[in-house]
A = this chain, B = another copy of it.
Amino acid sequence: MLPFTHIVRALPATVPFVPPEALERKQGQPLALRVGANESNFGISPRARQAMVEAVEQVHWYNDPEGYELRSALAVRHGVAREEVVLGAGIDELLGLLVRLFVEPGDTVVTSLGAYPTFNYHVEGHGAVLHKVPYRADREDLPALLDKARKVRPKLIYVANPDNPMGTYQRADELRDFIAGLPDCVLLLDEAYIDFAPEDALLPLEVERAQVVRLRTFSKAHGMAGARVGYALAHRDVVAALDKVRNHFGVNRIAQAGALASLGDDAFVRSVVRQVEEGRREYAVLAAELGLQTVPSATNFVALDVGSGERARRLMQMLLQHGVFVRMPGVAPLDRCIRVTVGPSAERQAFAKVLCAVLPQLDIGDEIFC
């Protein structure tokens, strides 16, 4: 018997996500459409591409563990000090470290029921107790989250704005009221999709900086999911504390170079955002034509409402049989939807074609799987 800690021994053997590569291995063939993980199939900025190709030539050197250049550029961009910016290998790594900073075994943490599973994974991995508040009308329910926080006095509370998996958002004034009402705890505000959101979703950065950690990423609008660059905007004491526990060399040299270059290419990101807006409208029209609802989205994905969890699961499987990878929310009533990434026009047309082909068979029953 290996001498694992009590926490580790109690952990289940689950992982948050089955990757599309695992689906391909299982099926023995590549996917035709990869629209399940909200990867940006618009690709990356040409500037980021050039910077990364050039950085390959220096990859025998360690990356800068201080991420000085990228953090400096992010600080300028956001009008904060460099000491208020910290890099991580994606928001995922930062979530894990932030949980570790604040949570002791047995502590409580509040999130929404059906929200980002990787956050839950880290909370459970540190032996804390999760309280999950149901969504209301496909949005994270700020008043109910606030009630729960007042009741259970968590160390951390997690809110994604815009939300994943539904794509809805909170207005900045709603968030401001929410934060004003919070008891002593740290709000992890996951803004992975903020680039795609309307202006009124953006909470000003100066709001309650001591209590709010803002999480951002180059994985979505910047199209660099495989590079693993996330960052947090936070109080300098939080950044200093992260420096005491983080894996300092964790953000790859090529990734840092690419992110820096992409940050300098606003025109590219704006173009992606515009095309995503167009694609969301297109998917809303498509859904209407097919007699389906879509959840209004402030992200690069659309939740297509097919009526029930059973139908959504079945549709997801049918799409997969046609080589189309989508995901769906894990809990009711959110699981009446499938979640489709909004990519370039050709990809949308290809998805529409498959959806139109399989949807009429959705209620025929199990025989189509035989």
| A contact set with B: CB distance below 8 Å | 2-6, 8, 11-17, 19, 21-22, 25, 34, 37, 39-44, 49, 52-53, 55-66, 68, 89-90, 92-93, 96, 100-104, 125, 155, 184-186, 210, 219, 223-228, 235, 237-238, 240-241, 243-245, 247-255, 258
Q: Which of A34, A92, A244 has the most CB of B within 10 A?
A: A244
Determine the distance from Cα of A223 to Cα of B155 in the docked complex, in whole angstroms. Answer: 42
The distance from the CB of A217 to the nearest CB of chain B, in whole angstroms, is: 11
Q: A2-B186, A13-B243, A93-B247 are in contact. Are A52 and B59 (CB under 8 A)?
A: yes
B60 near A42 with CB under 8 A, answer yes
B15 and A65 contacting across the interface, CB-CB below 8 Å: yes
Give the 9 A-B CB pairs with smallest separation, nearest first. A226-B253, A60-B223, A59-B226, A21-B64, A11-B244, A252-B252, A62-B225, A52-B56, A93-B247
Q: Known contacts A19-B62, A249-B90, A258-B59; is A6 also within 8 Å of B104 by CB? A: yes
Chain B residues within an 8 Å CB radius of A240: 13
Name 30 interchain pairs, CB-CB below 8 A, sorted by A.
Answer: A2-B186, A2-B235, A3-B155, A5-B104, A6-B104, A8-B100, A8-B102, A8-B241, A11-B241, A11-B244, A13-B244, A19-B62, A21-B66, A22-B66, A37-B62, A52-B254, A59-B223, A60-B223, A62-B219, A62-B225, A63-B225, A92-B248, A92-B249, A93-B250, A125-B244, A226-B253, A250-B250, A252-B254, A252-B255, A254-B255
Which chain B positions have C-beta within 8 A of A3? 102, 155, 184-186
Closest B residue to A240 using CB positions? B13
Q: Are A17 and B65 in contact (CB under 8 A)?
A: yes
In contact, B249 and A227 (Cβ under 8 angstroms): no
CB distance from A31 to the nearest CB of B (A): 10
Given A52-B59, A254-B227, A248:B16 Cβ within 8 A: yes
* Neighbouring B residues of A226 by C-beta, 8 Å: 55, 58-63, 252-254
Q: Give which listed residue, B19, B61, B103, B184, contacts A34 with CB less than 8 A.
A: B61
- A225–B60 contact, CB under 8 A? yes
Cβ-neighbour of A225 out of B17, B57, B59, B243 (below 8 A) = B59
Contact B252 A228 (CB under 8 A): yes
Query: How far, in angstroms, from A104 to B43 measured CA to CA in the complex?
Result: 43
Q: Is the CB of B210 within 8 A of A2?
A: yes
A25 and B72 CA atoms in complex are apart in Å by 13
Question: Contacts A61-B34, A68-B25, A248-B17 known; A4 to B227 CB distance under 8 Å?
Answer: no
Contacts of A68 in B (CB 8 A): 21-22, 25
Q: Which residues of chain B are within 8 angstroms of A42 by Cβ–Cβ distance?
A: 60
State whether B40 touches A247 (Cβ < 8 A): no
In the complex, the answer to whether B17 meets A228 with C-beta atoms within 8 Å is: no
Q: Complex formed: what's the CA distance from A12 to B96 in Å?
A: 20
Report chain B residues within 8 Å CB of A41.
60
Residue of B nearest to A104 (CB): B5
In the assembled complex, how far is the CB of residue A208 from the closest CB belonging to chain B, in whole angstroms? 12
Assess whether B56 is in contact with A19, with CB atoms less than 8 Å apart. no
Cβ–Cβ < 8 Å partners of A93 in chain B: 247, 250
Given A52-B59, A62-B226, A92-B248, 8 additional A-B pairs, CB 8 A: A5-B104, A39-B60, A42-B60, A59-B258, A60-B225, A62-B225, A92-B249, A250-B250
